[in-house]
């Protein structure tokens, strides 16, 4: 009896695998079927993705996940979050553990080409900087010869630092931690002289110090760090969806559509706005969702500018200026192709 | 009648046939399951555009590692980074095993001491550290103890030679000059000579019954001979003393806090278990043995050394082996505090930079399996030797 | 003849130095010169360590107040623990639903208590209920989504609750598998034996964190697309498989201690292999293996803390999270001491329980 059961079970599993494999690559269908987006986020980085004591996730990267859910389901809350450390993130996406990775991840050529993954755009233009204690009396990264650096394992930061120090003929020591929390705590306790990471992170981590005023961010930016959501390369439909969710948020900001005025904007005579909000055209259908997809995103998550200000900008403890991340119309480089 | 019974046994009750079928089934299920996994992996990897390859080993790693026992720089290859991780794992495991054994032996014997205070203290030590998770102890030693040490500029100064701060423990480092090799040679000669002395003394004692102070003469030989050579060749050893320069101490040698915290936790945690093993091993030796030895007029410590411990070893070795294995595997918790061991450097940073998850996790597990099996093998050999004493 | 005593002289009291406090001290602390030395050194070390600790943890500690302002000055800040207490126990489980967790564990207590009453009826049934039915009830109680209970995803489970779930499920899964593996390793069939040996050695040879890492991020690669297993469940399976290998070795030790005559006698009675195993060999082997199984269980309980590395918020994970709260930085010692104390209570309790069982089952083997 037992034998028959085992045989039957393995046969069932095998046939299941055949059936399932026929659908390989249809991430959107799978997402719709299970009823939520599985989104990989940072284990805790204020402003980008952090969880409060009620277990609620917030942040710029989290908003990407929520916007995708809003586009697919019309409900921004249909997201399940998988907190990932830097070194787990690509494996989790490759293996199919998550549907999209939105975890302040730098777009590099290697990652875009050899991991079987594709970046869908940039939701934050960043660069690597240095955070030091004021008491050290350092005001330029050139003075950091012989210093000890705290960094996070598995990031581009590790590589950039090595490059920078080598090209400036400086010696250094790097203490590598798993999470940004541990990195910040070690820096705070004086384990290292310098915390190096993407500048946005430095501002975020600085708020976690015992005395945030005791540390300063040095002026040098030693690398380009375009951060954005990542999906698997094998599914162009899902790739397009995630890509255009990002563009929709930026287009909404450009058109002045906010979460507050989005209902009235539906009556707007501007054809750009009409196309964005699904009043005219069939743009939702093109990416496999309903035509009011962008309406739902803006109504429930907000446009790019709102999300930025709320999470990392002037309305947040981080107080980061828009800078490069302003729209192209305002001196930044955030740009979105037109919806038409 | 008996014959009749065997004749009538239906074929499905035949022991051998049943065994055969059961085994065929186990093979089929196991192979099927493995094939199922392999097939899925292949399909999934193909669908996701991931390829397995070992090419990355020869590429430049490009990241720094804070502690390495072999030459390493960010321009080294991933293969060298792998070796750094491996040697760091082996290093902390080896040091941990030695220290945990010593501490465990000490506490285990202390627990049986007739001194009330000592035995109670040893008992409290065992109960506290054996009953809390290792990871918690690692976190505690790292975040609550190591990082609470003074900052670099306020270092604890021990005689201007040793400095303790939250960047590590800085010690003077001996810098041997070429002539120093003569001293090392002398040391080896002295060790060989004292080993020969021990053999000779044992033979003489067996033949004539006359004892010889092997320990003291051997110790004298090992200490005095290299010292004499050292002074003859003109003290060919300098010391590099750590001194504050710029951000950190320069010179000397340093035990980084990640290493110290992990080593402390591994040692203290494992020693608590070893102490219990030693205690029960000693208690397993019949009390009559001790009494007999005492009545022969042997002093207390000789009784322990010659009668109790050799017998206790037989009981102690097998569980001790699994403690050593545990310690080695537990050293992989290094990743939690940033000590660059194999898991942290290879299955962490390297995996992330190259994306070769399946290959790298496979190799990592293979390495640990190899280490574990090697330790098992060594300890089994030793166990056989100890067991031969039994008559 | 007056100097001859007529009656027995009453016993003299023993010398002052041999009885009472003095005698105890002499025998236990100052019996020889080196014991005296040990005593003095140990006492000095304790004197260095204990009073400052006591002052920090009790005398100068802060117990009440709001926020970290309440903890100005030296001394331990227990206010911090108090502020986070619900999280230590329930993780991010919604506050309004916590009664379900309480109820779930409250159900468990009478079951275990009943199983420990000597000589009561239906023990087998109650045991089976505890092992097979109770986990299902508890699961639906915790996860919700049925009978009008709001669903609580496993990602919100945390704290001590999660630690206990991991430990209980881990042992329930590991025990039967471990017994099967032990039988497989002792089997006379070479294939069965080598498969069991390979399984056991493989799991015993690799660190748990690599196994957990595999289960948390690599597993979907080995499964057909679309097959999803909850992250918590995967961690549970990994822990159970891992510990099963250790249980197998402990049970094998028990099996080896059973004389061959027992098996031969069982066969002579006409019992089949399963019958002789279930009725004759296993009860004896398990009885011998009980202390080892309890030790393995304690190891399992401590090992559940490793799930923090794959991002599950068990007791240690919640402690780490609490220590990273910007409002409460700098109370690492308090946090770890508190979490350590909880772990210690459970592990120490278990080890005492193991000793008790050892004594209770020590029948028939006494010499």
Burial C124-137 (b: 16+ CB within 10 A, else e): eebeeebeeebbee
Question: A with B: how many residue pairs have Cβ under 8 Å apart?
Answer: 144
**Span of A176-185, A265-274, B261-270, C205-214 with lowest mean pLDDT:** A176-185
d(CA B225, CA B232): 11
- Residue A16 domain-assigned (yes or no): no
**What tokens appear for A46 in the block?**
């204020």
In the DSSP assignment, the letter for residue A228 is -
Nearest CA in chain B to A232: B48
- Residue C129 domain-assigned (yes or no): no
pLDDT digits (tens, 9 = 90+) for A93-141: 888 889 999 998 999 888 888 888 999 999 999 999 999 988 888 888 8
Based on the domain organization, do A37 and A93 belong to the same domain?
Answer: yes
In the DSSP assignment, the letter for residue C77 is B
User: What is the distance in angstroms between the Cα of B372 and the nearest Cα belonging to chain C?
Assistant: 5
The rounded mean pLDDT for chain C is 82
Give the per-residue pLDDT at A196.
Answer: 92
Total domains in chain C come to 2
- Residue A86 domain-assigned (yes or no): yes
Give the per-residue pLDDT at B9.
Answer: 66
In sequence order, which residues have a C-beta less than 8 Å from that of residue C121 and are 6 or more positions away?
none
pLDDT tops 70 at residue C363 = no
Which residues of chain A make contact with B63, given a CB cutoff of 8 A? 158-159, 162, 174
CATH classification at residue A294: 3.40.190.10
pLDDT digits (tens, 9 = 90+) for C237-292: 899 999 999 999 888 888 888 888 888 898 888 888 888 888 888 888 888 888 88
**Span of A334-338, B158-162, C43-47 with lowest mean pLDDT:** B158-162
- Residue C133 domain-assigned (yes or no): no
Beta bridge partners of A81: A39
A86, A187, A192: which is closest to B350 by C-alpha? A86
| Residues in chain B with pLDDT values less than 50 | 1-5, 390-391
DSSP of B36-102: HHHHHHHHHHHHTT----SGGGGSB-----S--SS---TTSBHHHHHHHHHHHHHHHHHHHHHHHHH
Based on the domain organization, do A165 and A77 belong to the same domain?
Answer: no
- Which of A21, A44, A210 minimises the CB distance to C324? A44
In terms of residue numbers, what domain contains C41? Answer: 19-60
Based on the domain organization, do A120 and A173 belong to the same domain?
Answer: no
- Residue A39 domain-assigned (yes or no): yes
Is residue A234 very low, low, confident or very high in pLDDT (cuts 50, 70, 90)?
confident
Give the per-residue pLDDT at B6.
Answer: 52
In the DSSP assignment, the letter for residue A216 is E
SS3 state of residue A59: coil
Q: Which of A71-75, C226-230, C331-335 has the highest mean pLDDT?
A: A71-75
**Span of A102-116, A146-160, C62-76 with lowest mean pLDDT:** C62-76
- Which of A34, A43, A185 minimises the CB distance to C311? A43
DSSP of B167-193: TEEEE-EEEE-TTHHHHHHHHHHHHHH
Q: How far is CA A307 from the centre of its chain?
A: 12
Based on the domain organization, do A235 and A169 belong to the same domain?
Answer: no
Q: Is C217 an interface residue toward B (CB < 8 Å)?
A: yes
Whether residues A23 and C225 touch (CB distance < 8 A) is answered with: yes
Based on the domain organization, do C25 and C166 belong to the same domain?
Answer: no
Which residues of chain C make contact with A83, given a CB cutoff of 8 A? 311
Whether residues B355 and A90 touch (CB distance < 8 A) is answered with: yes
Chains that touch B (3 or more CB pairs under 8 A): A, C
In sequence order, which residues have a C-beta less than 8 Å from that of residue B234 and are 6 or more positions away?
B179
- Residue A14 domain-assigned (yes or no): no
Is residue A4 very low, low, confident or very high in pLDDT (cuts 50, 70, 90)?
very low
Give the per-residue pLDDT at A34.
Answer: 86
SS3 state of residue C126: helix
pLDDT tops 50 at residue A5 = no
In sequence order, which residues have a C-beta less than 8 Å from that of residue A262 and are 6 or more positions away?
A277, A295, A298, A299
The answer to whether the CB of C225 falls within 8 A of the CB of B47 is yes
SS3 state of residue A155: coil
- Residue C24 domain-assigned (yes or no): yes
- Residue C352 domain-assigned (yes or no): yes
Give the per-residue pLDDT at A54.
Answer: 66
Q: CA-based diameter of chain B, in Å?
A: 97
- Residue A18 domain-assigned (yes or no): no
Give the per-residue pLDDT at A3.
Answer: 43
**Span of A134-148, B223-237, C144-158, C184-198 with lowest mean pLDDT:** C144-158
Q: Is C31 an interface residue toward B (CB < 8 Å)?
A: yes
Q: Is B14 an interface residue toward A (CB < 8 Å)?
A: no
**What tokens appear for A50 in the block?**
């952090």
Give the per-residue pLDDT at A1.
Answer: 39
pLDDT digits (tens, 9 = 90+) for A44-98: 788 888 877 666 888 999 999 999 999 999 999 999 888 888 778 888 888 888 9
- Which of C155, C225, C320 minimises the CB distance to A96? C225
SS3 state of residue C9: coil
Question: Greater confidence, C133 or A240?
Answer: A240
Based on the domain organization, do A76 and A156 belong to the same domain?
Answer: no
**What tokens appear for B315 in the block?**
């009981």
Q: CA angle at residue C159 from C158 to C165, to 5 degrees?
A: 70
In the DSSP assignment, the letter for residue B334 is G
pLDDT digits (tens, 9 = 90+) for A187-228: 888 888 899 998 888 888 888 788 888 898 998 899 999 999
d(CA B171, CA C7): 77
Strands A230-232 and A79-84: unpaired
In sequence order, which residues have a C-beta less than 8 Å from that of residue B71 and are 6 or more positions away?
none
In the DSSP assignment, the letter for residue C73 is S
Phi/psi of residue B90, each to 5°? -65, -40
pLDDT tops 50 at residue A13 = no
d(CA B147, CA A185): 9
Q: Read off the pLDDT of each residue in A288-309 and give the average, rounded to a whole number.
A: 94
First to last CA, chain A: 63
CATH classification at residue C322: 1.10.3720.10
Based on the domain organization, do A42 and A184 belong to the same domain?
Answer: no
Based on the domain organization, do A116 and A140 belong to the same domain?
Answer: no
- Residue C67 domain-assigned (yes or no): no
Based on the domain organization, do A324 and A236 belong to the same domain?
Answer: yes
Beta bridge partners of A40: A82, A101
Give the per-residue pLDDT at C291.
Answer: 82
ipTM of this complex prediction, to 2 decimal places: 0.84
- Residue C334 domain-assigned (yes or no): yes
Q: Which residue has the tokens 């009620």?
A: A54
Phi/psi of residue B191, each to 5°? -65, -45
Q: Is C340 an interface residue toward B (CB < 8 Å)?
A: yes
Whether residues B329 and C208 touch (CB distance < 8 A) is answered with: yes
Q: Is B85 an interface residue toward A (CB < 8 Å)?
A: no
- Residue C123 domain-assigned (yes or no): no
d(CA C169, CA C136): 11
CA atoms in the 13 A half-sphere facing the CB of C327: 13
pLDDT tops 80 at residue A185 = yes
- Residue A21 domain-assigned (yes or no): no
Based on the domain organization, do A326 and A231 belong to the same domain?
Answer: yes
Based on the domain organization, do A121 and A238 belong to the same domain?
Answer: yes
Based on the domain organization, do A53 and A200 belong to the same domain?
Answer: no
Based on the domain organization, do C302 and C172 belong to the same domain?
Answer: yes
Q: What is chain B's alpha carbon radius of gyration, rounded to the nearest angstrom?
A: 28
- Residue C323 domain-assigned (yes or no): yes
Whether residues B64 and A234 touch (CB distance < 8 A) is answered with: no
Which residues of chain C make contact with A85, given a CB cutoff of 8 A? 311
Q: Is C323 an interface residue toward B (CB < 8 Å)?
A: yes
- Residue A148 domain-assigned (yes or no): yes
In terms of residue numbers, what domain contains A191? Answer: 128-223
Q: Is the pTM of this model over 0.80?
A: yes
Based on the domain organization, do A121 and A231 belong to the same domain?
Answer: yes
Give the per-residue pLDDT at A251.
Answer: 95
Handedness of CA B338, B343, B346, B351 (dihedral sign): negative
d(CA A198, CA A187): 15
- Residue A194 domain-assigned (yes or no): yes
């Amino acid at each position: 009896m037992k034998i028959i059961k085992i045989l039957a079970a393995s046969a069932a599993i095998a046939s299941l695998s055949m059936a399932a494999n026929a659908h390989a690559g249809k991430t959107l269908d799978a997402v719709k079927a299970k009823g939520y987006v599985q989104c990989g986020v940072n284990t805790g980085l204020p402003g980008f993705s952090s969880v409060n004591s009620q277990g609620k996730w917030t942040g710029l990267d989290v908003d990407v996940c929520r916007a995708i859910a809003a586009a697919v389901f019309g409900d921004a809350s249909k997201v399940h979050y998988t907190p990932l450390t830097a070194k787990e993130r690509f494996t989790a996406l490759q293996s199919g553990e998550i549907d999209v990775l939105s975890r302040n991840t730098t777009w590099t050529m290697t990652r875009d080409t050899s991991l079987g993954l594709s970046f869908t755009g940039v939701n934050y233009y960043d660069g690597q900087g240095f955070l030091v204690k004021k008491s050290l009396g350092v005001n330029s990264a050139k003075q950091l010869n012989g210093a000890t650096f705290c960094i996070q394992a598995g990031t581009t930061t590790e590589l950039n630092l090595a490059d920078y120090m080598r090209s400036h003929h400086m010696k250094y020591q790097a203490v590598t931690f798993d999470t940004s929390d541990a990195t910040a705590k070690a820096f705070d306790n004086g384990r290292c002289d310098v915390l190096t990471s993407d500048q946005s992170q430095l501002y975020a981590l600085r708020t976690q110090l015992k005395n945030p005023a005791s540390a300063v961010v040095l002026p040098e930016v030693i690398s380009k760090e375009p951060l954005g959501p990542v999906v698997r390369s094998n599914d162009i439909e899902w790739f397009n969806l995630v890509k255009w969710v990002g563009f929709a948020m930026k287009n909404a900001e450009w058109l002045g559509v906010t979460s507050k005025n989005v209902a009235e904007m539906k009556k707007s005579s501007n054809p750009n706005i009409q196309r964005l909000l699904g009043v005219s055209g069939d743009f939702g259908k093109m990416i496999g969702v309903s035509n009011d997809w962008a309406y739902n995103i803006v109504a429930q998550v907000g446009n790019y500018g709102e999300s930025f200000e709320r999470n990392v900008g002037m309305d947040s403890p981080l107080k980061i200026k828009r800078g490069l991340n302003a729209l192209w119309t305002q001196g930044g480089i955030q740009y979105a192709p037109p919806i038409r | 009648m008996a014959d009749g019974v065997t004749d009538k046994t239906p074929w499905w009750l035949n022991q051998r046939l049943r065994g055969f079928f059961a085994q065929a089934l186990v093979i089929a299920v196991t192979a099927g399951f493995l094939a199922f996994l392999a097939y899925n992996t292949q399909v999934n990897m193909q669908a996701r555009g991931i390829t397995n390859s070992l090419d990355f080993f020869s590429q430049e790693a490009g990241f720094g590692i804070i502690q390495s026992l072999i030459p390493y720089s960010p321009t080294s290859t991933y293969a060298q980074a792998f070796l750094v991780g491996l040697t760091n794992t082996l290093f902390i495991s080896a040091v941990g095993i030695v220290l945990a054994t010593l501490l465990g032996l000490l506490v285990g014997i202390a627990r049986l001491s007739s001194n009330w205070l000592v035995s109670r203290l040893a008992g409290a030590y065992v109960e506290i550290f054996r009953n809390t998770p290792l990871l918690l102890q690692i976190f505690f030693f790292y975040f609550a103890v190591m990082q609470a040490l003074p900052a670099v500029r306020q270092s604890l100064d021990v005689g201007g030679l040793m400095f303790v701060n939250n960047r590590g423990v800085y010690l003077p480092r001996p810098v041997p000059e070429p002539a120093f090799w003569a001293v090392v040679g002398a040391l080896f000669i002295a060790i060989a000579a004292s080993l020969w002395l021990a053999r000779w003394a044992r033979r003489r004692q067996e033949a004539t019954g006359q004892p010889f102070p092997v320990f003291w003469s051997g110790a004298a030989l090992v200490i005095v001979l290299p010292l004499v050579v050292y002074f003859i060749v003109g003290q060919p050893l300098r010391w590099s003393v750590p001194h504050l320069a710029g951000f950190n101490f320069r010179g000397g040698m340093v035990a980084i806090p990640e290493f110290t915290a992990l080593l402390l936790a591994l040692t203290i945690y494992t020693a608590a278990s070893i102490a219990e093993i030693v205690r029960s091993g000693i208690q397993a030796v019949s009390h009559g043995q001790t009494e007999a030895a005492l009545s022969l007029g042997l002093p207390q410590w000789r009784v322990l050394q010659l009668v109790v411990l050799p017998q206790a070893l037989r009981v102690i070795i097998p569980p001790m082996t699994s403690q050593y294995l545990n310690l080695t595997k537990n050293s992989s918790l290094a990743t939690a505090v940033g000590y660059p061991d194999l898991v942290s450097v290879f299955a962490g940073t390297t995996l992330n930079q190259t994306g070769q998850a399946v290959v790298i996790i496979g190799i990592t597990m293979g390495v640990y399996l190899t280490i574990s099996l090697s330790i098992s093998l060594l300890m089994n050999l030793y166990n056989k030797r100890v067991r031969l004493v039994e008559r | 003849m007056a100097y001859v005593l007529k009656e027995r002289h009453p016993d003299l009291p023993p010398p002052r130095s041999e009885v009472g406090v003095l005698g105890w001290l002499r025998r236990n602390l100052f019996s020889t010169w080196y014991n005296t030395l040990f005593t003095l050194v140990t006492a000095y070390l304790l004197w260095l360590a204990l009073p400052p600790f006591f002052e920090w943890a009790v005398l100068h500690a802060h117990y009440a107040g709001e926020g970290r302002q309440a903890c100005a000055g030296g001394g331990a800040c227990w206010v911090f623990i108090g502020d986070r207490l619900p999280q230590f126990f329930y993780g991010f489980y919604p506050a309004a639903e916590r009664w379900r967790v309480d109820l779930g564990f409250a159900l468990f207590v009478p079951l275990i208590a009943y199983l420990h009453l000597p000589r009561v009826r239906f023990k087998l049934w109650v045991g089976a209920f505890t092992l097979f039915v109770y986990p299902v009830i508890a699961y639906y109680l915790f996860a919700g989504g049925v009978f009008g209970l709001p669903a609580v995803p496993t990602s919100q489970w945390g704290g001590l609750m999660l630690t206990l779930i991991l430990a209980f499920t881990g042992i329930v899964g590991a025990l039967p598998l471990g017994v099967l593996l032990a039988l497989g390793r002792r089997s006379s069939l070479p294939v069965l034996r080598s498969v069991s040996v390979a399984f056991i050695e493989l799991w015993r040879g690799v660190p748990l964190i690599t196994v957990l890492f595999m289960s948390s991020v690599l597993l979907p690669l080995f499964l057909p697309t679309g097959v999803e297993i909850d992250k918590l469940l995967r961690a549970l399976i990994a822990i159970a498989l891992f510990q099963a290998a250790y249980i197998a070795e402990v049970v094998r030790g028990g099996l080896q201690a059973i004389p061959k005559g027992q098996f031969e006698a069982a066969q002579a009675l006409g019992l089949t292999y399963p019958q002789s195993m279930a009725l004759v060999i296993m009860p004896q082997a398990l009885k011998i293996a009980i202390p080892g199984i309890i030790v393995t269980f304690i190891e399992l309980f401590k090992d559940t803390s490793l799930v923090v590395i794959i991002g599950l918020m068990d007791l240690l994970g919640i402690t780490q999270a609490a220590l990273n709260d910007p409002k409460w930085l700098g109370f690492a010692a308090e946090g770890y001491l508190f979490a350590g104390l909880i772990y210690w209570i459970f592990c120490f309790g278990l080890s005492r329980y193991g000793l008790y069982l050892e004594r209770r089952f020590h029948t028939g083997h006494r010499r």
